[in-house]
């Protein structure tokens, strides 16, 4: 596998995250992305030189950043929900 083929397969395996409110749906989608990407990495063990592919690397970086942002926002939502539940419990006990 060439560096170009590997990057193209990684981009294909890393679609843009869909905006969802359900954290479980987002995590399930990411699990699929992760598994697909790991398959690409397994088949591209000999690829080491990525120079000359800045456009493809930039696209991949943007998609990875979108996933990081989506997962980070989901994490914040989960924390906020847990804090709200904790407050409700303390009000109910109080």
Please give the C-alpha separations between residue 20 and each of 12, 23, 29, in angstroms, as whole numbers.
20, 7, 10
Q: Does residue 60 contact residue 14 with C-beta atoms inside 8 Å? A: yes
Q: For the whole prediction, is pTM greater than 0.85?
A: no
Average of pLDDT values for 75-90?
80
14-56: pLDDT as tens digits: 999 988 889 999 999 999 999 999 999 999 988 888 999 999 9
Q: Is the pLDDT of residue 91 over 80?
A: no
* Residue of 73, 55, 56 lying closest to 17 (CA atoms): 73
* Residue 81: band (very low, low, confident or very high) from pLDDT cuts 50, 70, 90: confident
Q: Where are the domains of the chain?
A: 3-93
């Amino acid at each position: 596998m060439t560096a170009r083929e590997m990057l193209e397969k990684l981009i294909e395996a890393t679609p843009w995250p869909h905006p969802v409110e359900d954290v479980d749906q987002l995590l399930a989608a990411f699990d699929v992305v992760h598994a697909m990407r790991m398959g690409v990495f397994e088949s591209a063990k000999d690829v080491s030189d990525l120079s000359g592919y800045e456009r493809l690397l930039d696209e991949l970086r943007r998609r990875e950043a979108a996933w990081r942002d989506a997962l980070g926002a989901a994490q914040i939502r989960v924390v906020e929900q847990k804090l709200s539940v904790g407050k409700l419990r303390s009000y109910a006990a109080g």
